[in-house]
Structure 1
Amino acid sequence: MRADDGAAVLRALHVPGHPVVLPNVWDAASARVVADAGFPAVATGSAAVAGALGHQDGEAMPVAEMLAAVARVAGAVAVPVTADVERGYGLKPSELVERLLEAGAAGCNLEDSDPRTGELVDPGEQADFLAGVRAAAGDRLVVNARVDTYLKGGTSRAAALGRARRYLEAGADCVYPITLRAEDEIRALVEELGGAPVNILYVPGAPPLRRLAELGVARISFGSGVHRAAMAYVGDLVRGIRDGRDPY
C-alpha cells in the first residue's frame, strides 16, 4: 500500500462514535496477528518496540532501530501502519517525515514532553513542530498529537483543551490526551473539541470499549498493554516448563 493511500484509509477510520481500535504491536509477527484478526490498521507502541529490542522506552533508543522496526511492521501487513515515534528523536520535521514515509508509515504519534527533561514542551513550540510536520507531509501522514498534561499529573481540562486546540489548528488529525480515563472528563473533552478526533488509551480503570465509542471517541489504542500481557503469558509459560508442567 502506498503511503498516501494508507494515510487516506487510516484518516477515514477516525470516526467519532465509531472508533478505530488499535492493539499496539512491537514487531512483524505481532503485526501479522493483529492484521489477521481483522483490524483495519496497525499501530506500533514505542515502549513495546523498545522493550522487544532491548532498550528502555524513550528517545535513548537509536532512531534508526525504531524506524527499521516500523519498516518491518509495514512490510509484514497490507493495512496502514501508524508509528509511535516519541517526539521525533530530535529530527527536523522534514527529515522525520521523509524517514517515516521511507519506512512505509501512514501515520505517527508525536508527544509533547521533552525527552531530555520529561517536562511538557511549551505548547506554542509544539504547535510549530506539528505544523512543520504537516507542511512536510501534506496528506501523506495521519498525525496523532499526544497531550501529556494528564500524564504529568495535571488535572486541568482547560490546559489539555488549550494544547489540543493548538495542535489541531497546527494540522494534527487527532489528539491524544494520554492516561485520561475518567468518563466525565473524556465526555467533556470530546464535546468541547467539537467533534475533532480524540484518541483514548485503554488502560485498567478506563471505560469499556463500547462506552468509549458512546462518548464520541474516534480512536482507541493500547500502548504497551498488549506487549506486557504477552510477556506475562510467556513468563508463566516458561516457569511452567521449568517446573515440569506440560506447556501445551
Structure 2
Amino acid sequence: MGGYGRSMLDEVIAGTEQVIGTGIAGCTLLLGLAFALATHRHLAQRLGWSRWPTLGALAFGMPIVALTLMPLGPIEPMGVARFRLHHFLVEARHLPWHHFDGLGANAERLANLALYVPAAFFLTVACRRVWPAVLLGPAVSLLAELVQSFDSWRSPDPQDLVHNALGAWIGAVAGLLVTVSRISVERVQSRVYPEADRNLNTFEKGVGGGHQGLDVPGLSGDQHRADHLGRQHALPQRAGVSGGGLLR
C-alpha cells in the first residue's frame, strides 16, 4: 500500500511538473509576442530592415524560444548533464548522415523542420540578405539541444539539429526568391517611370530647400505639396534598389 501511494504521488508530481512547464512555455510565448509587437518598428528602423517582415521574424522566432525554455522536469546535476551531452556528441558521430528513412513518416521530424521555416523566411525578407538565416538557424538549434541536455525528461537529438537547420535553409531560400522578385519588380517599375522619378526628386529637393522646386501655376503651396505627394504614392517603392546588396 505504501509503495502504491508513493507511485501515485510520483505521478501527481510528474503531472504537476508538466502542467507548470506548459504554463511557463505559454507565458514565454505570450510575452515574446508582446515584445515583438512593441519593438519591431524600432528594430527595423535601427537596422534598416523592412518593418512587417521584421515583425514576422520576431513573432515566428518566439515559439522556438518558448519550446526551448519549456521545462519538462527538474534540472539534473551538472555531472549527469555532462554525461548526456557526451552521449549526444557520440550519437552525432555515428549518425547515418547518408540516409533518413522518410521525412514525412515521422511527424516529429516534420515539425522540427517546419518550426524554423517561417522565422528564417521573414528574416531573409526583412534584411534582404540570406546569410543571417543560414547561420542563425543551425546556431539556434544547437543552442536549443545544449539546453535540453540539462533537462531530465528531454534529451538532445542530432537529427533534430539536422532538421532544424534544413528548415532554416528552406526558409532562407524561399525568402531569397521573394526578395529577388521584389527587387526585380521595383527596378522594372523605376525604368517605366523615370520622368516621374526625376520630378519627384526635384520636388523633394524643393521642399527641403524652402521656396525652390516645381512651380505649377494656379496651385497654392499646400495644393502643390498635396499634388506631388499624391504622385509619390503612385510611384514604386525604391527602397533597397540602389546602394543595397542582397548577399552582403
Shorter-chain TM range is under 0.3
Question: Of Structure 1 and Structure 2, which has the larger fraction of its residues in helix?
Answer: 2
**Larger RCO: 1 or 2 (CA < 8 Å, sep 6+):** 1
What is the TM-score with the length of structure 2 in the denominator? Answer: 0.26
What is the TM-score with the length of structure 1 in the denominator? Answer: 0.26
